[in-house]
A and B are shown apart, each in its own frame.
Chain A
Amino acid sequence: MNIPHKSVPIADLHREPLRQLLTALADDHLILGHRHSEWTGLGPILEEDIAFSSIAQDQMGHALGFYTLLHEHLGAPDPDIHAFTRQEAEFSCCQLVEWPIGDYDFSLTRHLFFDLAAGLRMETLSLSSFTPLAQLATKIRGEVKYHIFHAKTMVGQLGNSSDETAKARMQTAINRQFGLALGMFEPRLGEQILDDAHIAPIESKWRERWLEALNAVLDGTGLQIPDPDRIEPVFGGRNGYHTEYLQPLLHEMTEVFRLDPQAEW
């Protein structure tokens, strides 16, 4: 019962920029999904254990959706092969998603940063002129709403906490990874071409909306973001330059796959 490939025509001019966009989205969701799954069994309370595990599972589904688009429309290999057999330098995830889970405050802050951006991305992409992407983004958007709801609730609780240590830890987590978070919006090669074709906006447009959304979330809390103009964004991930943390993650993630790539599950 094979699912037939339902290719839609893509102009030659758009192919490479679209491949870059979809690979970045797929890799971000795959790698952060893997990181979130490391909270399974370790969450500070049962509800948070379940939340991070569920978000991880959602993100695996999202990654699969993007890899499937690459496979069906842009000639990329089968999603499993694509996800599990590339070398580190062939990954185009941003560096934010690679970092180890750290303490709960670090992971929670990263979850807020990432899902706020993912929500905006999916909202825009649900109107993409590339229909298969618009359909997938529409699907993902409804799921990310729950991620944002969760992140806002927890960040709000800790950010309004009467426990000054909790608040200080959250603020430190925000400051510490703000440059990494800005790295989510590293310009993609050919992004203007996709913008002109109403396939996807350039990253700086998303960055601007993300900063507004983030300020709105933190507004009612005792937390704030650093001045974005004074923080150096951590770029490189989109072009295959990664932290020392990605290779060990890939090694662990692909360990079972490498035992028998042809295995039927």
Chain B
Amino acid sequence: MVSPAHEPTGVPLNAHNDQVDAIWEALRSVMDPEIPVLSVVDLGIITGVALSPEQSVTVRMTPTFAGCPGIRLMEKQVGEAVEQLGYEHVQVETDFSVAWNSNRISDRGREIIRNFGLAPPPKHNGEPDLDRLQHTECPYCASANTTLKTPFGPTLCRSMHYCFDCLQAFEQFKPV
């Protein structure tokens, strides 16, 4: 079974019209609780928005990591953000029909991550090369003269590094 291209009501996911665009825009106000300047849209965890002729909204999400502790909170906030537009029937679903990977982070999201002080994940062709973690570009001084301290960090999506040029420890939003 491939992810359904249509919601049960027969409304295609991600059809473009002003109303659907306004819902996407509203979702930009919902932030990742672990990087509170990065929206769920730029993070790439919103995988579909559908609006039925009866004006009920379905938002589909996928977690960054299976054990992400923030997903329930984000579901709630996503629902509330859509309700604030005046919709009464809002459904938020989380599933794995579209698997999140770090390539789903938008270019704008990468810039936000860098400005937040984290190295953004390098783009990859489906399989990230973990050896590249050894020379992650330092988000402070852009040097590649760095080393990986540990592939784990303060949250599931971060690894920890050290820069030999600016002598700073830093974290990376790791490629998945």
Please list the residues of chain A having a beta carbon within 8 angstroms of any beta carbon in chain B.
1, 3-4, 6, 8, 47-48, 50-51, 53-55, 57-62, 64-65, 131-132, 135-136, 138-140, 142-143, 145-146, 149-150
Q: How large is the interface on B (under 10, 10 to 19, 20 to 34, 35 or more residues)?
A: 20 to 34
The answer to the question of B149 belonging to the interface, with a C-beta cut-off of 8 Å to chain A, is yes
Contact A50 B150 (CB under 8 A): yes
Known: A61-B67, A62-B66. 13 other contacts (CB 8 A): A1-B79, A53-B152, A54-B153, A54-B156, A58-B67, A61-B63, A64-B67, A131-B1, A136-B66, A139-B99, A142-B128, A145-B128, A150-B150
Contact A50 B152 (CB under 8 A): yes
23 pairs, A vs B, C-beta closer than 8 Å: A1-B75, A4-B91, A47-B149, A47-B152, A47-B160, A50-B153, A55-B152, A57-B67, A58-B65, A58-B156, A62-B67, A65-B66, A132-B1, A135-B95, A136-B66, A139-B99, A142-B128, A143-B66, A143-B176, A145-B130, A146-B151, A146-B152, A149-B130
- Could you say which residues of chain B place their CB within 8 Å of the CB of A48? 150
The answer to the question of B6 belonging to the interface, with a C-beta cut-off of 8 Å to chain A, is no
- Could you say which residues of chain B place their CB within 8 Å of the CB of A51? 150-152
- Interface secondary structure of A, over-half rule: helix
Contact B65 A150 (CB under 8 A): no
Q: Which residue of B lies closest to A152 (CB)?
A: B130
The answer to the question of B68 belonging to the interface, with a C-beta cut-off of 8 Å to chain A, is yes
Contact B93 A61 (CB under 8 A): no
Q: How far is the CA of A57 from the CA of B96 in the complex (A)?
A: 18
Q: Which residue of B lies closest to A138 (CB)?
A: B99
Q: Which residue of B lies closest to A148 (CB)?
A: B130
Q: Which residue of A lies closest to B66 (CB)?
A: A61
Q: How far is the CA of A177 from the CA of B130 in the complex (A)?
A: 29
- Could you say which residues of chain A place their CB within 8 Å of the CB of B63? 61
